[in-house]
Amino acid sequence: MRLERREHRPVYLLVGSPIAAVVSALLLAGILIAIAGAPVLEAYRRILIGAFGSRLSATETLTRATPLILTGLAAATAFRARLWNIGAEGQFYVGAIAVAACGSNMLAGLPGPILIPALLLIGAVAGMVLILIPLWLRLRFSVDEVVTSLLINFIALLFVSMLINGVLKDPMAFGWPQSQSVVDHAMLPKLVARSRLHIGLLIAIVLAVIVHFLQTRTVFGMQSRAAGLSPQGAAFAGVPLTRTLVKVACLSGGLAGLAGAIEVLGVKGYVTTDLSPGFGYSGIVVAMLANLNPLGVVLAALFTATMFVGADGMSRSLAIPTYIADVTVALSLLTMLVALFFTQYRIRR
């Protein structure tokens, strides 16, 4: 038995691999549910009901998918250029805290139609600034950006914790560490009345389409892909490597920062240190499940959000820890890697 590289990748394999990955992840997680002594099919039925069973739960799932689309896009754009940005979690938080700082007092006097775009831009820029640190370290000192961007996540979270316990602390929050709230007219309009779903979802989907366009139809898209496939080859073909990487980093960090900004302006209005239940890390799974395709990211984010929101309801009724959602999502990353392998190789006897 040996492995043989495929000459070309058939479309059915590319479309089929995420589906196969998700199904096998669900099967493996099903074993864990069974070991815990709960009926597996019933558990999955309840996850679906929990995620889409009512108008409220469906809007909640879409609300949860919104930041995941953006962090998924952040990972997808960076990974395509082999820029290992694992710092989306930190970029999310600095985006969020920048918006909370500017939207609660500094810029609060501006009218809504100017204020909201300005705040979104500020969040994105904050994310860009944060990702430029690991990129600079890579370009200047050849430090692997994986470890630095991971370590910066911890620093960013402590920084946010410092601000919301200090200068940005809301004096009205009964001593809880949370930032001051942004002014009411800075909040994003709701998409569905009497729910938490806001227009951030549309922004995220439009951005997915724009990123798709950028990657398939522009010189920048070609250059970032070339930089990922073979840096030497790309440099030889005249691709400005450093400039391309900086652009990719700004796009990726900006998207993650924007995710934080939108989460503040769309849902909470203020920042706490549990604003993100690992959106940055889940974004990596979302990107991989989508095979780094920006449009696929939307679907992968929807799957991930379904698991997280659905598991909440299932956990209450069947006494299975909600962590089963995290386990399933992590498993789907591993199974997707294996599935991708089989789109590239075939087994020959």
Partner 1 sequence: MNVIVDIISSAGLWAAILRIATPLIFGTLGALLCERAGVLNLGIEGIMTFGAMIGWLAVYHGADLWTGLFVAALAGMVFGFLHAAMTVTLGLSQHVSGLGVTLFASSFSYYVFRLIVPVAGTPPTIVPFQPISIPGLSTVPFVGPAFFTQTAPTYLAILIALLLAYVVFRTPLGLAIRMTGENPHAAEAQGVDPIRIRYGAVIVGSALMGMGGAFLTLSAFNSFFPTMVQGRGWICIALVVFASWRPGRALFGALLFAFFDAFQLRLQTVVQGIPYQIFLMTPYVLSILALAVMARRARVPQALMQSYRSGER
* Residue ranges binding partner 1 (CB under 8 A): 3, 32, 36, 79, 84, 86, 137, 140-144, 146-148, 150-155, 158-159, 161-162, 165-166, 281, 284-285, 288, 320-321, 323-324, 326-327, 329-331, 333-334, 337-338, 340-341
Longest Cα–Cα distance in the chain? 71
Q: Is the CB of 76 or the CB of 187 nearer to partner 1? A: 76
Q: How far is the CB of 321 from partner 1 (least distance, A)?
A: 4
DSSP codes of every residue in 127-151: HHHHHHHHHHHHHHH---HHHHHHH
Q: How far is the CB of 72 from partner 1 (least distance, A)?
A: 14
Tell me, what amino acid is at 80? R
Number of Cβ atoms within 10 Å of the Cβ of 119: 25
Q: How far is the CB of 50 from partner 1 (least distance, A)?
A: 17
Tell me, what amino acid is at 191? L
Distance CA(270)–CA(260), nearest Å, equals 11
Q: How far is the CB of 125 from partner 1 (least distance, A)?
A: 22
Q: How far is the CB of 155 from partner 1 (least distance, A)?
A: 5
Q: Is the CB of 103 or the CB of 134 nearer to partner 1? A: 134
Q: Is the CB of 51 or the CB of 289 nearer to partner 1? A: 289
Q: Is the CB of 213 or the CB of 345 nearer to partner 1? A: 345
Q: How far is the CB of 114 from partner 1 (least distance, A)?
A: 33
Q: How far is the CB of 60 from partner 1 (least distance, A)?
A: 21
Distance CA(306)–CA(46), nearest Å, equals 11
Q: Is the CB of 170 or the CB of 326 nearer to partner 1? A: 326
Distance CA(285)–CA(272), nearest Å, equals 24
CA 240 to the chain's CA centroid? 28
C-alpha closest to that of 305 among 70, 123, 34: 70
Q: Is the CB of 142 or the CB of 232 nearer to partner 1? A: 142
- Are 77 and 69 contacting, i.e. CB atoms less than 8 angstroms apart? no
Distance CA(299)–CA(342), nearest Å, equals 21
Per the structure block, which two tokens stand in for 249? 């980093």
Q: Is the CB of 203 or the CB of 336 nearer to partner 1? A: 336
